[in-house]
Structure 1
Amino acid sequence: MSGKTSYLAGLAAEDCVARHYVRQGQVVAARRWRGTYGEIDMVVRDGDELVFVEVKKSRDFLRAAERLTRAQLKRIYSTASEFLCGEPRGQMTPSRFDVALVNASGQIQIVENAIGF
């Protein structure tokens, strides 16, 4: 897959995931939020809780899951911590980390609370 094709496929996967959360009654607060440490694909508000979502797309769910590295997890966590600084309750804001896996057919599998430290 070329760089541009891969980029567009990633955007399409993120669109599908955003629609999934909205159908669940949640609000997408930010997409591709960039901080000092990196980027968070999506930040979703679920009532008082913030959900930091990493979207991974590949041919199948297993391959998508395998694309998440330990270094990436650390960057996501650090970036989420930075995002929380802008919230009224700061680091005390209830939050979780989901991984949204998207296969080649556009099917979505959400792994809630997938990233824990």
Structure 2
Amino acid sequence: MTTKPLAKNITEGQAAEQIAATFLQNNGLTVVEKNFRATYGEIDLIMRDGKTLVFVEVRLRSNTKFGGAGMSINPSKQQKLTRTAEHYLQTHGDSACRFDAILMHALDITAVEWIKDAF
């Protein structure tokens, strides 16, 4: 196993998250936190949309062979995100919240698909 593909995936993931944050900021949301980690998993972006906290999962998939970006947020991943969000809310104060997804097929802000209340 080489480190080049791993480094490329990390770099692409970070780039996708930055594009997503910029896209959401351009649509009126503000960044609260990036890459929040807890026992259950990680939340890519935590944003604020008015009084609502928005937990955002960012997915980049250029190949749709296995169903594309949206299909990769399976029930197991949703459960991990929900548990991580519950931990965040317990430690940072309860708030109205929702789960959004940013799906991308390329590292380009014009390739962003924003799904509000994704699950």
**Pairwise same-fold verdict (TM > 0.5):** yes
Q: How many residues align?
A: 112
Any idea what the Cα deviations from partners look like across 1:68-103, whole Å, max 9, x if unmatched? 221111000000011111334x2xx11100010011
Output the CA distance in 1 between the equivalents of 2:63 and 2:115: 14
User: Does 2:35 align with 1:65?
Assistant: no
The answer to whether the Cα contact below 8 Å between 1:60 and 1:104 also exists between their aligned partners in 2 is no
SS of corresponding position for 1:104: coil
Q: Distance in 1 between matches of 2:71 and 2:47?
A: 23
Match of 2:106 among 104, 107, 110: 104
List per-residue Cα deviations over 1:49-84 (Å, max 9, x = no partner): 000000000116751112222111100000001111
Is 1:22–2:25 an aligned residue pair? Answer: yes
Report the identity percentage. Answer: 29
Mapped to 2, the partners of 1:23 and 1:86 lie a distance apart of: 28
Structural RMSD (CA) = 1.6
The one-letter code of the counterpart of 2:71 is: E
Alignment of 1:9-88 (within 5 A): 9-59=12-62, 63-88=68-93
In the alignment, is residue 95 of structure 1 matched against residue 97 of structure 2? yes
Q: Which amino acid is 1:19 matched to?
A: T
- Indicate the SS of the match to 2:28: coil
Alpha-carbon deviation of 1:36? Answer: 1.8
Distance in 1 (alpha carbons) for counterparts of 2:91 and 2:50: 17
Q: Deviations 1:34-59 (Å, cap 9, x if unpaired)?
A: 01211000000111100000000011
Aligned to 2:8: 5
* Contact 1:100/1:111 (<8 A) preserved: yes
TM-score (norm 1): 0.88
